[in-house]
Structures are given as C-alpha cells and as structure tokens.
C-alpha cells in the first residue's frame, strides 16, 4: 500500500486550520494564513465550510467562492459561519443577530470572520484563557460598537468566536477572551 | 402464502425446508471440515453457548443452519441433551493450563510475563481488497502461503523463557494482602456440584450456577448488559486483572486403576476483572469452553456487578441470567412468528368493547374544552 | 491527453485516512472546543481500522491535525513501546508519513492514553488525550441527556455530594484516575483517565490539550493558560498519588509517576512510567548526549507551580 499524500487543497486547508487552531489557543497572537486579502477569507471558508453547514456574508464578491464549498447561504440570524471583509455600521446590525448558542448547545454560537488592520487603531486589552499575561493589540477598521455589542449581548458560555484578518494574518478572539477597549 | 393452511401443512414444511436448502450451499462433509478448520472462533462461540465441546459437531451445526447462530446453538444443545453422562472429569486448575495468551491490564509486567499470543487486537482493520483483485481461477488454485512464524531473537540469543502455567496475578495480590484469601474449602466431588443442566436456577443462585450460566450465555446478550455496566450504569470501574486463552487437559480417573489420565485437550478462556473502589480489591470472573474473549470480559464485569448491594436492574443476577440464555431467549423471540390469532382476537374484543364504552360515556366535566 | 493524466494518482486511502469531509467536521468541532474550554462538543466520529474504544477518538483528532512536517509521539500508560502505542504510531505514520519520536521535547503532537509526560510541555505542542468516557457526571448520572442538562445549568451539586460521601465512608476521596476538574470556572470535565499525578499539569499549561472520545462521540479541549482545578473542599484537598519512597529500578529516578511491577517472590519493584524520559536518563547515565526537559515535579516531589497542589 502506498503512503497517502496531501493534495494541494488539503495542504492549503491544513495550513489554514493550523493557523485558526493556534489563533484560538493563543488569542491576540497573529498567525499566518496561506493566502492574503479576500483570498484569506476564501481559504478560511474552504477549510470550515461544506454542505453540512452554512454561511453568511454581505460581501457580494465572496458569495460564489463560499457557495462553491457546498455550504448553504443562510441569513445572519442562522448562519454558523459569517464573513465580513469590511464590517460597516450597517452590517453590524446584521452581525449582532448572529447565533450565540444555547446553554445546552453553546457550540452553536457563530464564528465571525472580520477584516481589519493590525498596524494601528483602537487599543484592545485582552485577558482570559490562552493568555499567560494580559495583552494589548491595536485594531483598525472595525466599529467600536462591535466590542460593546460583544460584551453586552452574550454571557459566557454563550457568545461569538471571532477571527480578525489583516492581509495573511489572523488573530483569534474566542468568546472566553475579555476585551477592554481604550 | 397462508402459513396455517390446515391442509397441506406438512407439504408446506417440506417445501419451506427445501427452499431454505436451495438458497444455501449444499451440505457436504467438505463444508463441515472447512468451517471447522477456517472458522475456529465461530465454532468456539457456538460450542460455548451450546455448552458442548465438540468442534466437529459445532461445525456441522453451522453448516446445517447456513450460519444462523441461534439455530446452530439450539442444534448443539438439543444433541447434548441426548448424551449420557458417563463420568466426571477432574477439576481443571489454573496452574495446569497450557496458556497461549495471557494479558493483564493491571500491571505493565507480571510474574510469568505478558503473553500476547494469537490476537487481532493490534491489527489494522483494513479489508484485504487485493485478495479480490486476483483472478478467480488463480485465487481458487493457489492456497494462501502457510504462515511462518519467525523468531525475532537475534542469533545466538536464547528465546525468552516461557512458563506455560504462570503464577496468577490474583495470587500475587493475595500474597500482598490486596485481595481476600481464597476460603479453605474441602475438596469437592465434581459429582456433587450444582448443575444448571440438571436443576433450574433459583435466586440468589449458587456460585456454580452463576458461572455455568455465564459460560453458556448468549455472547451478544452478555456483551449488551456488560457494556451497560462498563459504560456507566454499573457502580464499579473494573480493570482486567488477567485474561487467558489456554488448552486444558480433560482428565479422568481410570475406573480400575484409579490413575488420572488425559482423554483430550479443550480450548478454554477465562477472564478475571478487579475493582479498586473499596478498601480491598474485589474480583469478577467468567470462564468458557472455547476462546471467547468478549464474552469472558463482559461476563466477568457482570459477575462483579451482580454482587453489588443495589445493582442496576440490568445487572441483577436474576435479570442477567434469565435474559442472556441464548436458547430460551431466541426461542421465545421467534415463537412470536407462531399464529396468535386466537389471543389477538380475544384482545381485540376487549379493545372494541372499551372503545364502545368510552364513546357512550357522558363527557366528564374536566374534559370539556 | 488521456483521462489518467488529468486525474489524481490513485490512492487507496486519503491522507490521514479520514476523507476531507470528516477532517473538516472534526476541525470545526475542535475550534469550538478550544473556544469553550471543557465543554463536550458532539461530533460524528467515524469508524477507523482500529477497534472502537482503543483510541479512535484521539486518533481522529491526531489524523486531522498532523502534516508531514510534524513530529509525533504516541504513548500508552506513559510507554512508547507498549503494543497499543506501537500500533497506533504505526498506523498514523503509515497514513500521514509523519516523523515519530519518543522524546517529549522533540514532539509537536503527542497522542496519549492515560498519561501526561513527566517533562513539561511547551507552547505550540499539542497533547491529544484518548478518552474512554468524556462524562465526569456519569457516576452520579448515567443518562447522558440528564447529565447534559446538569452541565447547561452548571449544576454540579451531586458531584460534591459524592465527594463528601467518600470522605465520610473512607476518610479520603476515592476517585483514582479521571479525577474531575473545573475548567475556566465553568465546566466540570473529565481529564481522561490520567492519574491524579498528571491533573495539575493541565492547569495554566503552556501547551494545548485536545481530548476526544470516539465511542462516545464527544471532543473537548483545554486551551493553554486556562484554569483547571480539581474539585476539592476548602479544608480537604485533592491529593496526587503518593510516589514517596518509590525508586525507579532502572534509572534511580524518584518523585515521578512509577509503574508497580509485582515480583513472583512477593513485593514489588518500580519503574518510571514515562519510558521516553527513562530512556534519556539512561542515555545520560551512559555518558551519551541527552537533553532533559524541566519536569512537572522536581526530584523532591514539588510541583513546578507553587500553590496549585494545596495538599503539599
């Protein structure tokens, strides 16, 4: 029997998954994705989506690529995976309806993938699991209202799990991470 | 087809049997020999549940029933019940077993060593599809290469010493005071042992009855109840102290000289599980004729659990022993295929009358909504 | 142009044995598990060519996280050389062409049954623990659906009651391995049947721990730097196994988790349970090079994070 090897798609998805896994394990630490920009969103999409799950994105260019995974397009109130490459205030109204999970099934809380910039912007003070010490990161191009919504809409163990994407960098903010703005 | 046609009933039986034979391979001595040689674990399972050590007859039973296990066990039991009791064999003791497989999960190494023996435990369960790729003709013509067991011992080094009758793990535990000593009992006359095939079990059952019942029990039934116990409906979390596959000499005393001699060897398996959740270890045990690992492990778990003060219903002795009896359970299950239209009619009559009464009755105030 | 030239070369099995859908599903679940520490995430759990209940849960996790650049260590009861560990390692290597090692320090992924290595794991390492029963409430509530409600309500009163009853009956907690822990102050979790000796290693650890039960179809995680507290009372503390006075017959090591080996003439000998660590101690004793990592317990038996084991 020959040794099975990785196809190019498998290689890409493995690299993406590894970045996502460590991003949630060490919140606030940027991890490298095998693609940048909008392609990074597609890479995350093909790693997580197939016909057993669904997605939402308000970004028209992204819809065909994500739908190609077999994932079902769903309204934001139902979609377990949501992609916002440029989150606007108007889109935030959609985002806040995303599923939070239930006490019986907190894992049904949505995963939100958000485009932003890490070089400068609003300082976010992070603490919680995965952080040996509190850590401060800066995030641009995300409305501050997002953090207020995140803090008020859900109480742990319910909540959203966030991936922030800038270029080919991804930072994870799982629901356990406390975020203080300013 | 009306299966209770009053006339032609006998003809229907004959035709039904004929059709059954037609759909199965013709019964031949070669089939029986092949089953005996190539399916030893299936043969062992049938012998264990049939409580008759006769590989040839078990293979015949399997061939005759097309592999229907419950039918095969019934055939064997029905044959067994016709056999005279000629003599009582000497008790088989653990130290006299010729052990080929003996593993303990309690300790990494044990006196006498862990002996992996014959097992598929660590095989990768991948279908050998390449075998099917072979040309049919070639396949039937070429016998599989005979397995050659190579010795891994480097040249010049003696193979590791092998003790065919190692010290039982439980004996070491007894010497350490972890396990209660075996109570002193006068040597038992095998003829005076309680025998489940001669007297029905009464509860609480004598230990001999319980172990006999587990030895003859339905493998699937014991597994289902044992698994319930292991998975969380039991009180204990036992460890396999020792699992053994072995050959045992069946020894008789010569009627004239009184000398013990072996009349043949049988395959036996036994399992002992141990529970630590107390101040002293406690044992559960099951042994069977033939190599039946799953049944021995599950049975030993049940044996341990049935001693508990308030066992889950699925582990009460009566519940377990009644419901894992393969011939009785399968027989009763298939009896539901028999006509029941008289009893059914009687039930229907009651149901109809109750409905009529309910329809006539004035509506109760509480129901008005 | 032929059809064959366009198609992928034929493979009898996918990389990592699992197909792409299985891997994607497992990965989705793992990410949720990391986001909700200690919560049991249900998953489909495929059948594998290894008997169910023999580590298929851990195996599915390992197969969906490794790549050919990883270095894998597989242990059973602490031992790299046991037949079960050897078999799982053989299977994973055959399906992923991953490099294998017995050295905890060299491994990127460690799949283990019933042990955490003695040497401290570091950031970026993944410990995959095989789990026979993921439900810490099983002994007080065998019905899974009811236990699930208790987790939803964080209602762990019955567990405390059991602990108290043990104290009254036996004068101590009787839980051996699988000692229940509270993770991130919210979920009661079974750390898998690791000895109590290994439980504190999960608390505020640098590495990621993934736990997976194939037969029961649940996986869960302890992210790095997360609180993992064994349940105990304010005045009666959780205790690790007493290893005092046990000296490894091969290496002379002490205050590590020891295997007890019965001796036919009576009594016992002891040997380090962590065979990878023992091998390095032996190499060093022979004068060969061997890099030893810092251990969770020092040679005096003190845990590396003071105050975590309060019974000390």
| pLDDT higher than threshold 50 for residue B230 | yes
Strand order of the β-sheet with A117-127 is A135-140, A117-127, A178-181
Q: Which residue has the higher pLDDT, A31 or B235?
A: A31
Domain count, chain A: 1
Query: What is the reported pLDDT for B363?
Result: 64
Full DSSP string of A119-170: EEEEEEEEESTT-SS-EEEEEESS-THHHHHHHHH--TTS--EEEEEETTEE
Is the same domain home to B40 and B175?
Answer: no
- The alpha-carbon radius of gyration of chain A (Å, integer) is 16
Is the same domain home to B256 and B286?
Answer: yes
* Binary contact (B112, C261; C-beta < 8 A): no
Position B368 in a domain: no
Position A143 in a domain: yes
Contact of B121 with chain C, judged by CB distance below 8 Å, is answered with yes
User: Which of A6-10, B29-33, C46-50 has the weakest average pLDDT?
Assistant: C46-50
Q: What is the CATH number of the domain that holds C45?
A: 3.40.50.11310
pLDDT band at B159 (very low <50, low <70, confident <90, very high): low
Position C251 in a domain: no
Contact of C241 with chain B, judged by CB distance below 8 Å, is answered with no
CA of B166 vs chain C CAs: smallest distance (Å): 10
pLDDT band at B10 (very low <50, low <70, confident <90, very high): confident
Name chain C contacts of A1, Cβ cutoff 8 Å. Answer: 12-13, 94
Name chain C contacts of A47, Cβ cutoff 8 Å. Answer: 24, 27
Full DSSP string of A61-120: THHHHHHTTTPEE--TTT-SEEEETT--HHHHHHHTTS-B--SS-GGGBPEEEEE-EEEE
Is the same domain home to B218 and B283?
Answer: yes
**Which residues 155-214 of chain C have a CB within 8 Å of chain B?**
170, 174, 176
* Binary contact (A17, C20; C-beta < 8 A): no
Q: What's the pLDDT tens digit per position in B55-93?
A: 999 999 999 999 999 999 999 998 998 888 888 898 888
Q: Which residue has the higher pLDDT, B237 or C186?
A: C186
Is the same domain home to B110 and B253?
Answer: yes
pLDDT band at B252 (very low <50, low <70, confident <90, very high): very high
ipTM of the complex: 0.98
Position A1 in a domain: no
Is the same domain home to B223 and B319?
Answer: yes
Q: Collect all residues with Cβ–Cβ distance below 8 Å to C288 and sequence separation of at least 6.
A: none
Q: What is the pLDDT along chain C (312 residues), one digit of tens a residue?
A: 677 666 666 667 789 999 999 999 999 999 999 999 999 999 999 888 888 888 999 999 999 999 999 999 999 999 999 888 999 999 999 999 999 999 999 999 999 999 999 999 999 999 999 999 999 999 898 888 899 999 999 999 999 999 999 888 888 888 889 999 999 999 999 999 999 999 999 999 999 999 999 989 999 999 999 999 999 999 889 999 999 999 999 999 999 999 999 998 889 999 999 999 999 999 999 999 999 999 999 999 999 999 999 886
Contact of A60 with chain C, judged by CB distance below 8 Å, is answered with no
Q: Which residue has the higher pLDDT, B169 or B8?
A: B169
Position A149 in a domain: yes
Residue C292: phi and psi, rounded to 5, are -100, 135
Position B46 in a domain: yes
Query: What is the reported pLDDT for B143?
Result: 45
**Which residues 275-334 of chain B have a CB within 8 Å of chain C?**
276-277, 279, 312
Q: What's the pLDDT tens digit per position in B192-202?
A: 888 888 888 88
Position B1 in a domain: no
Position A3 in a domain: no
Dihedral (CA of A143, A15, C64, A55) sign: positive
DSSP state of B134: S
Average confidence score pLDDT of chain B: 85
Query: What is the reported pLDDT for B166?
Result: 79
Query: What is the reported pLDDT for C5?
Result: 67
User: Which of B227-241, B291-305, C42-56 has the weakest average pLDDT?
Assistant: B227-241
Name chain C contacts of B277, Cβ cutoff 8 Å. Answer: 174, 176
Select the residue of C30, C149, C226 nearest A129 (Cβ to Cβ): C226
Position B151 in a domain: no
Q: SS3 of C239, please?
A: coil
| pLDDT higher than threshold 50 for residue B142 | no
Position C163 in a domain: yes
Q: What's the pLDDT tens digit per position in A92-144?
A: 999 999 999 999 999 999 999 999 999 999 999 999 999 999 999 999 999 99
Position C240 in a domain: no
Dihedral (CA of B149, B150, B156, B162) sign: negative
Query: What is the reported pLDDT for C40?
Result: 97
Our measurement of the distance from residue B85's CA atom to the centroid of its chain's CA atoms, rounded to an integer in Å, reads 23
Copy the structure tokens of residue A48: 């997580």
Alpha-carbon distance C76 to C87, whole Å?
A: 10
Q: What is the CATH number of the domain that holds A177?
A: 3.40.50.11310
Name chain B contacts of C12, Cβ cutoff 8 Å. Answer: 129
Query: What is the reported pLDDT for C14?
Result: 87
* Binary contact (A130, C223; C-beta < 8 A): yes
* Binary contact (B122, C142; C-beta < 8 A): no
Question: Which range marks the domain in which residue A20 is found?
Answer: 8-181
Of B167, B205, B178, B168, the closest CA to residue B282 belongs to B178
Interface test with C, best of B232, B294, B305 (most C CBs within 10 A): B232
Is the same domain home to B56 and B173?
Answer: no
Is the same domain home to B172 and B285?
Answer: yes
* Binary contact (B108, C79; C-beta < 8 A): yes
Position B154 in a domain: no
Rounded to an integer, the average pLDDT of A14-35 is 98
Question: Which range marks the domain in which residue C26 is found?
Answer: 20-230
Domain count, chain B: 2
Question: Which range marks the domain in which residue B33 is found?
Answer: 9-80
pLDDT band at B276 (very low <50, low <70, confident <90, very high): confident
Of A140, A148, A149, the closest CA to residue A171 belongs to A140
| pLDDT higher than threshold 90 for residue B266 | yes
Contact of C89 with chain B, judged by CB distance below 8 Å, is answered with no
* Binary contact (B172, C264; C-beta < 8 A): yes
Position B30 in a domain: yes
* Binary contact (A25, C65; C-beta < 8 A): no
Q: Which residue has the higher pLDDT, B146 or C127?
A: C127
Domain count, chain C: 1
Position A106 in a domain: yes
pLDDT band at B339 (very low <50, low <70, confident <90, very high): confident
Alpha-carbon distance C68 to C66, whole Å?
A: 7
Q: Which residue has the higher pLDDT, B345 or A138?
A: A138
pLDDT band at B368 (very low <50, low <70, confident <90, very high): very low
Position A76 in a domain: yes
Interface test with B, best of C148, C262, C269, C278 (most B CBs within 10 A): C262
Alpha-carbon distance A128 to A134, whole Å?
A: 8
Of B104, B96, B122, B120, the closest CA to residue B268 belongs to B96
Name chain A contacts of C153, Cβ cutoff 8 Å. Answer: 103
Alpha-carbon distance C121 to C124, whole Å?
A: 9
Residue entry with tokens 């009529």: B356
**Which residues 40-99 of chain B have a CB within 8 Å of chain C?**
none
Contact of A48 with chain C, judged by CB distance below 8 Å, is answered with yes
Position B124 in a domain: no
Name chain B contacts of C79, Cβ cutoff 8 Å. Answer: 108
Rounded to an integer, the average pLDDT of B292-320 is 89
| pLDDT higher than threshold 50 for residue B140 | no
Is the same domain home to B49 and B72?
Answer: yes
Contact of B365 with chain C, judged by CB distance below 8 Å, is answered with no
Query: What is the reported pLDDT for C95?
Result: 93
pLDDT band at A36 (very low <50, low <70, confident <90, very high): very high
């Amino acid at each position: 029997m020959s040794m099975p090897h990785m196809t190019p798609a498998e290689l890409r998805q493995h690299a993406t998954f590894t970045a996502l896994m460590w991003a949630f394990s060490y919140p606030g630490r940027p991890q490298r994705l095998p693609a940048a920009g909008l392609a990074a969103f597609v890479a995350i999409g093909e790693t997580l989506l197939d016909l057993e799950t669904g997605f939402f994105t308000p970004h028209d260019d992204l819809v065909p690529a994500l739908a190609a995974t077999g994932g079902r397009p769903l309204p934001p109130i139902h979609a377990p995976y949501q992609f916002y490459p440029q989150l606007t205030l108007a889109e935030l109204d959609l985002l806040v309806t995303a599923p939070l999970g239930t006490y019986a099934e907190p894992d049904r809380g949505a995963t939100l993938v958000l485009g932003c910039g890490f070089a400068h912007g609003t300082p976010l003070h992070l603490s919680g699991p995965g952080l040996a010490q509190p850590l401060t990161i800066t995030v641009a191009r995300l409305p501050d209202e997002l953090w207020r919504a995140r803090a008020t809409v859900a109480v742990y163990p319910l909540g959203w799990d966030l991936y922030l994407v800038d270029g080919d960098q991804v930072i994870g903010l799982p629901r356990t991470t406390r975020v203080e703005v300013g | 087809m009306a299966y209770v046609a009053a006339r032609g009933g006998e003809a229907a039986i004959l035709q039904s049997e004929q059709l059954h034979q037609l759909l199965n391979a013709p019964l031949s001595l070669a089939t029986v020999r092949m089953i005996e040689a190539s399916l030893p674990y299936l043969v062992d399972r049938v012998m264990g549940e049939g409580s008759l050590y006769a590989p040839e007859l078990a293979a015949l039973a399997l061939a005759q029933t097309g592999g229907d296990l419950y039918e095969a066990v019934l055939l064997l039991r029905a044959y067994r019940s016709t056999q005279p009791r000629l003599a009582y064999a000497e008790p088989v003791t653990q130290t006299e077993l010729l052990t080929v497989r003996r593993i303990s999960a309690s300790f990494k190494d044990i006196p006498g060593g862990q002996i992996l023996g014959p097992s598929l435990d660590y095989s990768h369960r991948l279908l050998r599809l390449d075998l099917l790729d072979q040309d049919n003709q070639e396949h039937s013509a070429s016998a599989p290469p005979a397995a050659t067991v190579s010795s891994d011992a480097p040249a010049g080094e003696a193979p590791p010493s092998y003790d065919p009758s190692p010290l039982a793990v439980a004996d070491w535990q007894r010497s350490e005071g972890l396990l209660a000593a075996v109570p002193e009992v006068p040597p038992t006359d095998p003829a005076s042992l309680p025998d489940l095939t001669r007297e029905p079990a009464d509860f609480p059952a004598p230990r001999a009855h319980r172990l006999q019942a587990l030895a003859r029990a339905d493998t699937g039934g014991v597994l289902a109840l044992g698994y319930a116990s292991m998975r969380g409906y039991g009180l204990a979390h036992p460890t396999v102290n020792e699992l053994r596959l072995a050959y045992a000499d069946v020894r008789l005393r010569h009627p004239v000289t009184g000398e013990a001699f072996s009349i043949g060897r049988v395959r036996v398996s036994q399992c002992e599980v141990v529970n630590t959740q107390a101040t002293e270890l406690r044992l559960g045990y099951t042994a069977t004729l033939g190599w039946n690992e799953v049944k021995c492990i599950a049975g030993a778990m049940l044996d341990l659990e049935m001693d508990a003060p308030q066992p889950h219903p699925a582990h009460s002795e009566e519940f377990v022993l009644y419901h894992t009896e393969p011939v009785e359970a399968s027989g009763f299950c298939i009896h539901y295929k028999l006509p029941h239209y008289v009893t059914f009619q009687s039930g229907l009559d009651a149901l109809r009358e109750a409905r009529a009464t309910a329809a006539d009755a004035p509506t109760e105030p509480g129901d008005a909504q | 142009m032929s059809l064959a030239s366009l198609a992928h070369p034929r493979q009898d099995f996918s990389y990592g044995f699992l197909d792409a859908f299985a891997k994607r599903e497992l990965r989705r679940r793992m990410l949720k598990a990391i986001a909700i520490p200690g919560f049991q995430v249900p998953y489909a759990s495929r059948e594998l060519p290894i008997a169910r209940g023999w580590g298929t849960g851990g195996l599915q996790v390992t197969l969906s996280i490794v790549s050919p650049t990883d270095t894998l260590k597989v242990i059973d009861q602490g031992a790299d050389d046991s037949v079960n560990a050897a078999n799982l390692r053989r299977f994973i290597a055959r399906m992923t062409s991953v490099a294998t090692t017995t050295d905890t320090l060299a491994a990127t992924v460690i799949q283990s049954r019933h042990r955490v290595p003695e040497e401290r794991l570091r950031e970026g390492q993944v410990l995959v623990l095989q789990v026979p029963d993921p439900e810490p409430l099983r002994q007080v509530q065998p019905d899974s659906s009811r236990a699930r409600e208790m987790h939803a309500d964080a209602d762990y009163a019955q567990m405390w009651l059991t602990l108290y009853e043990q104290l009254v009956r036996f004068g101590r907690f009787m839980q051996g391995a699988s000692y229940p822990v509270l993770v991130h102050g919210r979920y009661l979790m079974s750390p898998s049947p690791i000895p109590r000796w290994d439980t504190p290693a999960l608390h505020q650890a640098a590495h990621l721990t993934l736990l997976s039960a194939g037969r029961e179809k649940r996986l869960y995680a302890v992210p790095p730097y997360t609180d993992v507290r064994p349940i105990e009372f304010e005045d009666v503390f959780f205790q690790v196994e007493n290893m005092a006075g046990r000296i490894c017959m091969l290496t002379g090591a002490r205050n590590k988790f020891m295997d007890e080996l019965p001796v036919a003439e009576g009594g016992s000998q002891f040997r380090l349970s962590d065979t990878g660590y023992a091998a390095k101690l032996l190499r060093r004793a022979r004068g060969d090079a061997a890099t030893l990592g810092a251990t969770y317990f020092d040679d005096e038996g003190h845990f590396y994070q003071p105050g975590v084991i309060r019974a000390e």
